[in-house]
Structure formats: C-alpha cells, structure tokens
Structure 1
Amino acid sequence: MPPRQAIFPASRHALYDIHRYSAATRSGDLLFVSGQVGSRADGSPEPDFACQVRRAFANLRAVLAAAGCGLDDIVDVTTFHTDPARQIDTVLAVRAEEIGAPPYPNWTAIGVTWLAGFDFEIKVVARIPEQASAA
C-alpha cells in the first residue's frame, strides 16, 4: 500500500498550522478529511451560525478539490454540533443546498460541548475518482 499523503487546499487557513494537522490524508483511493469548521483565513470563527456552516462547507469543498474530489465523492459524513436542537434546521437547509440529490452519503450527527470556539464541524471520507487517482 502506498504511504499516506497529506492534502492541503490552495487557500490553506491558519488553523492547520496553529493546531498542527493536515486538512486531509490520502490513503490509496480514499480521502480522510479532517473536521472542517467555518473559519476565516486567519482561523477565527465566522460569527453568524448559518454563515459559519456555509463557510465550513466551502472549506470542505476546497480540501476535496485539492485531492481531485467533489461533494459527490463523499461516502461518509460526521457532523458535530454545539446545540443540535437549535441548529439542526439551519444545518439541514445548508446541507440540502450543498449535498444535492440522492444517493446521499452516510451521515452521523453528534452533539458536543466544545469545538474550539466554533459551533459546527464537518468531517468526511471520500473516494478519490479514478482520473484523480492516476494523477
């Protein structure tokens, strides 16, 4: 098996360096994306919750694109929410805009008490398309 490969988007935000982690790790034809939050380029949270969720998805798209993937390549999603009961309608609305039509990926939502100043985080596993795997 080939060694794992760190993947970073071109618009790399400060959190990767501050907390010392890779945006994603490629292993074979799978991409394991670290939790993406609604951070600005300097690593600070987007203050409006809906905008924070949208920015988290934008950061996710950038990481996927860096590996030759898109949202359609996602097979498994885990989301983390600081106040699931109050946030779920907003998250589901943004998710519907972002994920699109069936078949949908697996999805697990988890309520948490802390996300380092953020209120939403999304972590995924994606399959890298064959044409991107050959690159």
Structure 2
Amino acid sequence: MNQNETRKKILINPPGTEDIYRRMKFSQAVRIGDTVWVSGQVGGDEKGLVGEGIDAQARLAFKNLAHVLADTGASPADVVELMTFNTSMGDIRGFSKVRTDFIPENYPAWTAVGVKELVMPQLLVEIKATAVIGSRKAA
C-alpha cells in the first residue's frame, strides 16, 4: 500500500447492516490502514431479537463484533481496546466470562462504563472496539 491508500477511510457495513447505515446514518466500522474502529455492538441477532440476560446478550454482541471485524480482515484477537457500556455493573463478572471465550489471551485494554440505559430498554451491554489488523500476538 502506498501512503495515500493507508490514509484512506473505508466504511465497513457487512451484509445485513445496510439498513442501519441508511436509517441511523452510521457505519458498523471505519478502517484506516490497519486500524479499525468498530461502532457499539449489542446483544441482538440479525432479526433484531435481543438475548435474555447478560450471558446471551454478551455472546450475541461479541458474535456481532466478530462479524464486523471479519469484514475488515481482523478478528477478536486483533482487538487492542474494548469499551463496554453496562446498564448494571453487577453483570461485569458474567460479561467477563463471555469476553474470555472470545478473547482468551493477550487481553486488550478495557474500560467498562456504567450507564442508565442503552438505545433499547431491554439491552444490558454495548461493546465498542478498536483493532489493529495483524496484531494478534502481544510482545
């Protein structure tokens, strides 16, 4: 890649997310060079059905995150920073167990923020991430 190509902003909207892009006016992710910024992913499936409880929602949110990352050429192992928005900080232990299923080693930086509510009242967690493609192994 030449210098101009590494600075080009690429909008990432995997199949099935185009309607969100049009209606809500945001991309699922943006890639510049090898860095990927992923918008908040929640615990709903492709039909918009929200999981029951923190375990199910965290698994769906990480599945959605992995889907968006795959569209950029990255994987959960390339995540260098996570930020989670949690409606109950009491759910952190349950969330953390699911997190280690998706990112089992070389843990990224992580900030957990307690919030009153998310975009839909039944949502318990939202995950936003930054990844660097090819950074799977920590030094």
1:13, distance to aligned residue in structure 2 (A): 7.4
2:65 aligned to 60, 63, 70, which one?
60
1:25 maps to 30
Q: Output the TM-score relative to the length of structure 2.
A: 0.83
- Confirm or deny: 8 A CA contact 1:14 1:42 kept in the other structure: no
Cα distance in structure 1, aligned partners of 2:77 and 2:108: 9
1:12, distance to aligned residue in structure 2 (A): 2.8
Give CA deviations for 1:12-35 in whole Å, capped at 9, x if unaligned: 375444422100000121000001
What SS does the aligned partner of 2:129 have?
strand
The one-letter amino acid paired with 1:55 is L
- Superposition RMSD on alpha carbons, in Å? 1.9
1:46 aligned to 36, 42, 51, which one?
51
What is the percentage of aligned positions where both structures have the same residue?
Answer: 37
| Structure 1 residues 120 and 75, CA gap change in structure 2 (3 angstroms) | same
Structure 1 unaligned residues grouped into runs of 5+ = 131-135
- Confirm or deny: 8 A CA contact 1:9 1:65 kept in the other structure: no
1:110 aligned to 85, 109, 113, which one?
113
Q: Output the TM-score relative to the length of structure 1.
A: 0.85
Cα distance in structure 2, aligned partners of 1:98 and 1:78: 15
Choose 4-13 or 50-59, whichever is displaced more.
4-13
2:103 aligned to 99, 104, 107, which one?
99
Structure 2 unaligned residues grouped into runs of 5+ = none
- Confirm or deny: 8 A CA contact 2:66 2:76 kept in the other structure: yes
- Confirm or deny: 8 A CA contact 1:13 1:41 kept in the other structure: no
Cα distance in structure 2, aligned partners of 1:62 and 1:105: 18
